[in-house]
Structure 1
Amino acid sequence: MEDTRDGVAAPPGRLTAPALRRALDILELFLEPNEGLRVPEITERLRLPRASVHELVRTLAERGYLEQEGGDQHRFTLGVKAFQLGGAYERELDLMELSRSAARAVAAQCGETVQVAVRDDRYAVYIARVDSTHPVRLVSDVGRRLPAHCTAGGKALLSDLSPAQLGVLFPDAASLAPMTPASIDSLDRLNQELAVVRERGWADEYCESNPDVTCVAAPIYKTGGACVAAMSISVPVLRWDEARKAELVALVTAGTRELSTRLGAPPRS
């Protein structure tokens, strides 16, 4: 049976497990900053039957993925098992620590905010960040998710995909919802821009995710040559001009080239 919750059908031939999908939906609510969630809040946000949410929350708590918040037995936060999974993911990839080190090195040279992101479906998720030393700077958080087509880092990640793969990720206009008037809002425009990114090896965006911020980014590759992440440098428009852009492009491409080499990627022209 196809899962059509929220009007989205599962792709043909893909088996779904509704209870598992709902449990993961509950866990993913905790990706956004909060002080814990109660069952009625979870029920309202996910539009699920309250009895089902009670059962799923109880099971997740029994397995250690959720836990009661302090003395409030009705409010839940992420449990230790969730953090153990995150730690296992981090151990699996040298990318985390190497990204932090590379971001610090690039930030030390430019004084701007440097971030490293990985792709989660059609979103860019930031796994490392070094803040700008300037009073006026981009405010962001590790773990933040942004639509990949609206960010330079996201476009660097998407550049590793074929047009057919992009068509699956972005099947209609709704999947390309803009964040600002400058955002990419069509698959044709996205494909055209990504073709340029592939040719020159770096991406940029001008006020596409934030009306006051510009950005350049480049992909990071691992063993086998697959794109595993992207590094970006974000700058307020008040410090942006073509000369500064050229400097930052040189920095971010050099930084990602060095990081890719440390991750075992083959040399790229």
Structure 2
Amino acid sequence: MGRRVPAVSRALDILELFLDGDGTLSAPEITRRLQLPRTTVHELVTTLAARSYLVPVPEQPGRYRLGVRTYQLGSRYAEQLDLAAEGQQVARAVAETCGETVHVAVLEDADVIYVAKVDSTHAVRMVSAAGRRLPAHCTAVGKMLLASLPAEELDERLPKDGELAAMTPNSITDAAELRRVLDEVRERGVAAEQRESNPDVSCVAAPVLDRSGQVVAALSISVPMIRWSEERQRELTGLAVEGAGRLSERLGHHARG
């Protein structure tokens, strides 16, 4: 590995400061927060501004905001992202940690489609495949994705009342009941299902966000009932949240503290 260039690292440190707060900073604020010499900050800010990575704020003399060059780089990065490829890498890491089957899924109409999948290392495991399509209301990933929709869009995809198709005796078939469950998922920020899509499997799921903060997918961990318990559910929920968070970061989402 080559030597790191201090000046480049400091310039990047300056740019990353703009990820928090109101998006504007002055040179004295940068100096204070990074504990750098005032002259060094002045030279770096001047250089970044000359290259359009920073621009002065017209109505606030002495303050800067991110320039168009950062937007161009971010847009190019976003164009190159592949949810399936990024999801497969994260799913593999999560599966290596828990030993269970991990999926990443997206919502299409009222169904979910698995775009990435890594198998459990156990002999007894869930059998599925990337590309498989299932009714969203029968799955943890589907509940997570449905709960993330605006109310009007949810109404377009699901009936407000009436019967829903069942995959197992445990599937939710009442539309009103499903909406109550989705309210709970929305409040908790995670979803679960017990033997609703497969009579021998339970799942937990967490949301995946893109750079704009929109939920674009969900990551789930599926477990045969012989290895399912309340304690295991809590443990796997935490791993699903962590994995979904890592995938969100790969898609450009920046979680604010």
TM-score, normalization: structure 2? 0.66
Alpha-carbon distance in structure 1 between the residues aligned to 2:107 and 2:228: 27
1:110-153 CA distance string (max 9 Å, x none): 00000111111110000111000111100001100000000001
Name the CA distance, whole Å, in 1 between partners of 2:118 and 2:255. 27
Aligned-pair identity in percent equals 53
Q: Which is greater in Rg? A: 2
Cα 1:172–1:201 change in 2 (3 A) is closer
CA deviation map 1:41-98 (0-9, x unaligned): xxxxxxxxxxxxxxxxxxxxxxxxxxxxxxxxxxxxxxxxxxxxxxxxxx76421211
In the other structure, the counterpart of 1:127 is: 115
CA distance in 2 between partners of 1:199 and 1:175 (Å): 24
**Which residue of 1 is the match for residue 249 of structure 2?**
261
Distance in 2 (alpha carbons) for counterparts of 1:195 and 1:173: 15
1:152-172 Cα offsets, whole Å, 9 max, x none, are: 011111111133322221226
Partner of 1:190: 178
Rounded to whole Å, the distance in 1 between the matches of 2:250 and 2:80 is: 15
Q: What residue is the counterpart of 2:217 in the other structure?
A: 229
Q: Residue 247 of structure 1: which of 235, 240, 252 is its match? A: 235
Structure 1 residue 268 displacement after superposition? 6.3
The number of equivalent residue pairs is: 179
Aligned counterpart for 1:163 among listed residues 143, 151, 168 = 151
Q: Note the aligned Cα RMSD (angstroms).
A: 1.7
TM-score when normalising by structure 1: 0.63
2:97 to 93, 101, 109: 109
Give SS of 2:168's match.
Answer: coil
CA contact 1:123–1:145 (8 Å) conserved in 2:
yes
Within-5 A mapping of 1:208-223: 208-223=196-211
Stretches of structure 2 that go unaligned for 5 or more consecutive residues are: 1-78
